[in-house]
Amino acid sequence: MAIETGRERAIYAADPARSRGRRCAEPESPTRNPFRRDCDRIIHSAAFRRLAHKTQVFVYHEGDHYRTRLTHTLEVVQIARSLARALGLDEDLAEGLALAHDLGHTPFGHAGERALDAALGRFGGFDHNAQALRIVTDLERRYAGFDGLNLTWETLEGLVKHNGPLTARDGKAVGRYAARGVPAAILAYSQVQDLELWSQPSAEAQIAAVSDDIAYDAHDIDDGLRADLFSLEDIAAVPIIGDIVAEIDRARPGLDAARRVHETGRRLITRMIEDVIAETGRRVALLNPGSAADVRHAAMPLVAFSPAMAAADAAIKGFLYPRMYRHARVAAIMNDAERVVRELFAHFITSPADLPVEWAEGIGFAGESGRARRVADYIAGMTDRYALIEHARHFKSTPELS
């Protein structure tokens, strides 16, 4: 089955007119469909604004040109909309899931998450997907009639399951949660509004997941080169990058270094998007889904890289992991960042009166687990900059992180 750019809506696309609705019933908007309304609510949330000052890989004051969680999110949105349009899927739902996918991240990226996960070890740990769900269903307090953003079932389902099913049909945790179990927050919410944790996510959620991978590969290469952690010749040892660089050099001999780097990223994104479109067309022909429900009940994802591109994606990540994410310069900064989060948590647990009034209210009656989760919620919502300011307010020595 051929997949064409700008094709008509696929029969297995999510349909906003058939949404399973919101937890709290609301009058429909006269000007926006339910999925478009979800996008707008996410964009106007406090959690979304804070992404502008949260670390992707490099902390905020290392340079104005490195990606933040917000710029990464916008790049994922662009790729997701492009794929949704080409595949005849719902662009608004794909956009909403791309907009929301990183809302649960802590300050200082994975360093902050490691610190909070360790601090909450006795209370179920910290998981950024579970935190994103808690933000949009509870922690955002903007609306008169409900807590959270009251998003549609389809957006909540995709937010939780965009990387695939969380459980088997019998409820046993699978995939990334197989060892530790599905986070309690996800299980608890699914008791209120069943997110069908055992099924595949919608095709639009699958688009958000693969778009995240594409954006990560392209922009982490760009940021790593900008930071001089490796050279273009170094990463050209990865076959797909080497092929692209050779293609550029043949077509544009003598191209200046900066344009050569940007052209490499641009062509990598294009190649990956085209691969997803072709592989999805192959899987559509194989699975022949007749509805969005058929996508959820399929034995495998509908939207994915081909085996060859999946191997190329793994090779890129395999290159970046030791040379960028575990580079001595980055690791030293992230160790200090982890210390900041760890010490903030310890301070607020022992001195909850130092929390802002709205966070301290009732904490004395929350019990040990509730108090720990409240403190973690407060810290997880911080930007990098605010976390450093708070640390300096309560400690005599705060790391420079540069």
Mean pLDDT of 364-387: 94
Helices (H), 90-178: 91-100, 109-119, 128-134, 153-161
DSSP 216-254: HHHHHHHHHHHTTSS-HHHHTTSHHHHHHHHHHHHHSTT
Whether 46 shows a pLDDT value over 50: the answer reads yes
| Selection from 2, 4, 77 nearest residue 42 by Cα | 77
Q: Where are the beta strands (DSSP E) in 43-131?
A: none
Q: What is the pLDDT of residues 237-257, one digit of tens each?
A: 999 999 999 999 999 999 999
Please give the residue that has the higher pLDDT: either 234 or 7: 234
Half-sphere exposure (Cβ direction) of 222: Cα atoms closer than 13 Å: 23
Domains and CATH numbers, the chain: 20-192 (1.10.3210.10), 210-324 (no CATH), 329-394 (no CATH)
Q: What is the pLDDT of residues 296-321, one digit of tens each?
A: 999 999 999 999 999 999 999 999 99
Residue found under tokens 């004051």: 61
pLDDT at 2: 41
**Cα 105 to Cα 69, 112, 114, distances in angstroms:** 8, 8, 11
Report whether 375 contacts 382 (CB < 8 A): no
Q: What is the pLDDT of residues 328-365, one digit of tens each?
A: 888 888 899 999 999 999 999 999 999 999 999 989 88
| Spatial distance between the Cα atoms of 149 and 44, rounded to a whole number of angstroms | 10
